[in-house]
Each structure stands twice: as C-alpha cells, then as structure tokens.
Amino acid sequence: MHALRSRLAGVEADWAAGRVHVVRGGKQLARLRHHLGEAGLSQDAWRERWRAARMFLAADGESGKRLGNESLRITDTGQLSIRLPAALAHLANAPHGRYVLDATVSFTHRGEEWLDRITANRAVAYRIHHDVLRGRWYVTASWQRTPAPVLPLDAALAGGVVAVDMNDDHLAAWRLDVHGNPVGEPRRIFYDLTGSTTHRDAQIRHALTRLLHHTRTTGAAAIAIEDLDFTDGRCREKHGRNKRFRRLISRFPTAKLKARLVAMAAEQNVAVVAVDPAYTSRWGAQHWQQPLTSTNRTVSRHDAASIAIGRRALGHPIRRRTAPPPHDQRDRAGHRTAQAAAETRRREGPRPRIPGPRTRSVPPGSGANAGDQRAQHRSEHAAEHQRPWKQDPLPLSP
C-alpha cells in the first residue's frame, strides 16, 4: 500500500506539472544511448534500432468492410495490400489505389480465430514494424473480443432450431419448428478432413460458415448439436485392432468444431444448444427415417438423427405420436391412442392404466411405466416392469 501511494503521488505531481513520460521507441532504448559501451553497440547500430522502433504503420479495422480493414488488407492466402493516400496514388500497382506487397503474411498464434473474423468481415487492426536484430518485417493483428451473450433457453428456441448431426465427412442439418416437426428439406454440408492441418481447418471453417448462413436463412436463432467427446475412445484397449475406426475418431475434431461454432455463432447472434448424444442415431432412424422417406426424398440415418437431436433440444420426446387404431380393432379409425390437446406440452407421457379383468400375467405394454418416454431420452432406465408382479391369492375365476 505504501508503494502504491508513493507511485500515485508521483503520477499526480507529473499530471499537475504537465509532464508526460512517453517515449516513442521505448524508454529503455532511449536510455541505452548513453551507455553504448556497456551494451556493445556503435552509434550507427543504435541509430538503426532507434529509427526502426519509431517507424511503424498501423490502421484500425472497421466491421462491414471487406476483410475487416480498408487501409491494411490481408487476405486468407496471406496477401498484404495497402491503400495509398491521394498524394501517393501514382505508386499503386493494383486497382483502386492499392499497393500489393510481394511478401506473404502468416499468423501462427490464433490464426484460426483471425481467419474466422476476416471471413465474416469483422474489424481487425494491423500494425507493421521492422525488427532490426532479426532483419524481418512483422505484422501484428489485434481485435476486440466481445463476450458472447447468454440467451435464456426459451428465448433461443422460440423460433425453432436447426439440428445438426456431425459426421466424419458432412454435417446433416434439418430445420425444426417449436413443436419438433421437421420443416423443409434436409441440408447436407460436406467437407474433407484429409490432408494437412491447414486444409482441415479451412474445410471446417467453410462448413460452419455455410451452416450459419443456412440457419439465418431459415429464420432460426439456435443450433442444436451433440455434446460429443471422443477423448476416451481413441485408445486401443476400447476398440482393439480396429485401427481404421480409431483413426477416424482421432481425426474427427469434435472439440475444435464445437469451440469454433460457438465463437462464430456469437458473431451472428445465434445460440448453440448442446444435448446428450445417447441413442440419437438409433432412435432417430427407428422413428423418423422411414416415415419421412418418399419417392422424391431419401432420408438418411444421419438426417433422422438430426431430428432426434433437435427434438431433444426442444424438450420433446424423440418418437413420433402413435398411429390411430386399425379398423379391425375398433368400430372405426378414431383418435390416436395417445391423443391430447394441441396446446398440451409433453402430451406423450405415461398412458393411464385401463382397468380390466385380471389375468395370470402382465401383458407387454401394460406395466406401471409402459408409456414412460424417459427411456427415449436417457439410457439405463427401465421402461416397464419396474415393480415385480405378484399373483393375487384370490381365485382368478368365479
């Protein structure tokens, strides 16, 4: 506390006297001018370093401009161009008064995040400076990271959701309304995860960009994905000698894909909802693949899984409503066996047990939890026969 108070007193005294302790080029380098012998530098070497430290070119970015900056522009291939002022327009070697440099630029630190910003035309500030010791020119990119807004789940799902099933070679997406019904046609976004790391990153970025554009086109404000984690599934002890499957899991970038989707969706004001991936492919294919397949549309297993993911995100059961009774079991085809009002939420809950004559056994489907649909949501849950059956000691017939 005493040290902070002493520093505060010094700052207030300099402020009152009008003294500004700012040295362009660095205070340490300025003091080094008086100790050249101890530093082992000549006056010319120090002068070169001093000029390089004081010489730089910087430009702030602006959202909405091409690649996020109009003055200093760097493309995804690393091409750097400078917008020349009117007095130097005659030196331009590119259209629109721009000067393109021969050297290319590459960002190793947070390069993927930088690519995401320039792809979305978000503001990026650049600074070009010269390093005398290494004899190289460097470009520094900077931007302001806005915190992602956290929307309530009901507000994010008010306009429906775009459910996505992530696969090794494509994203299977389908738009679902608030009632869990698929709307329109399924969308498949293909990508290629073979090749170099740069190629895979570019493929993921382009696929997520197309997914976000599709989401905004449909009018949805949320994307539902599976909360996949293959960290424990890459070892040989779990999959044995199935080397092909282990390689497939190892190259599937689940964590990177989710992290980049959250970052890119925040820029587009799109919410991301992660759901439990248990049995989405199996139950989606069981309840949705065949009913949605027609002569004009082929629904794959992955498309049906996306519907299961979207219904789980919306809070609906995965399975479809039960069909009306056949004509040979009723006088006529009446209402569905699990019919309820349209405004009733979760109207596919357990059916009431119908009283009737006692039998020697409990037939399938008439147990205490016969209609419990939690079994369609989580594993390790008994759907029926939760209580053991005991024979009535009374006679079964008069």
* Residue-by-residue DSSP string for 18-65: T-----TT-HHHHHHTT-HHHHT--HHHHHHHHHHHH-EEEE---TTS
pLDDT score at 203 = 87
> What is the model's pLDDT at position 30?
87
Going from the N-terminus, what domains does the chain have, and what CATH number goes with each?
A: 17-142 (no CATH), 153-314 (3.30.420.140)
Minimum mean pLDDT range among 128-142, 164-178, 247-261, 366-380: 366-380
Task: Give dist(CA 98, CA 90) in Å, integer.
Answer: 10
**Using 50, 70 and 90 to split pLDDT, how confident is the model at 229?**
low
End-to-end CA distance of the chain: 95
How far is residue 254's CA from residue 193's CA, in Å, rounded to a whole number? 12
Mean pLDDT of 231-251: 50
Instruction: Give the number of other Cβ atoms within 10 Å of residue 323's Cβ.
Output: 10
> What's the angle, vertex CA 191, arms to CA 73 and CA 211, rounded to 5?
70
Short-list 292, 280, 231, CA closest to 256: 231
Pick from 315, 318, 287, 305: nearest CA to 165: 305
Q: Is the separation of the CB atoms in 357 and 380 below 8 Å? A: no
What are the beta bridge partners of residue 129? 56, 138
Q: Give the type of residue at 122.
A: R
pLDDT on residue 147: 67
pLDDT for res 156: 86
Cα(200)–Cα(1) distance, integer angstroms: 52
pLDDT at residue number 217: 92
pLDDT band at residue 238 under the 50/70/90 scheme: very low
Contact call for residues 75 and 98 (beta carbons, < 8 A): no
- Helix H segments across the chain? 2-17, 27-32, 36-39, 43-54, 111-119, 153-156, 197-218, 236-239, 243-251, 254-267, 280-284, 290-292, 301-314
Q: With cut-offs at 50, 70 and 90, classify the pLDDT of residue 210.
A: very high
pLDDT band at 328 (very low <50, low <70, confident <90, very high): low
| Of 34-43, 195-204, 319-328, the least confident | 319-328
Whether residue 233 is predicted with pLDDT greater than 60 in this model: the reply is no
- Output the six-digit token pair for 222: 């949320």
Residues β-bridged to residue 138: 129
Assess contact for 305 and 172: CB atoms under 8 A. yes
The position carrying tokens 């890119």 is 264
Question: Is residue 237 pLDDT above 50, yes or no?
Answer: no
Between residues 332 and 290, the one the model is more confident about = 290
C-alpha separations of 195 from 63, 191, 192 in Å: 33, 12, 8
Range with the poorest average pLDDT among 47-56, 72-81, 253-262: 253-262
Residue 174: enclosing H or E segment and its boundaries?
A: strand 170-176
pTM: 0.53
User: What pLDDT score was predicted for residue 379?
Assistant: 44
Cβ-based neighbours of 231, under 8 Å, separated by 6 or more:
none
Q: What digits encode the pLDDT tens for the residues 98-125?
A: 999 998 999 988 888 898 889 889 999 9
Q: What's the average model confidence in pLDDT over 184-191? A: 91
- Mean pLDDT for 319-339 is 57
What does the pLDDT look like over 347-389, one tens digit per residue? 444 555 555 555 555 555 444 544 444 444 444 444 333 444 4
Tokens 């079964």 appear where? 396
Q: Mapping DSSP to helix (H, G, I), strand (E, B) and coil, where does residue 66 land?
A: helix
> pLDDT tens across 293-323, in order?
988 889 999 999 999 999 999 988 887 765 5
Give the pLDDT band (50/70/90) at residue 325. low
Lowest-pLDDT range of 166-170, 298-302, 334-338:
334-338
Pairing outcome for strands 72-74 and 79-83: antiparallel
Mean pLDDT score across all residues of the chain: 78
Q: Would you state the structure tokens that stand for residue 388, as one six-digit string? A: 């053991």
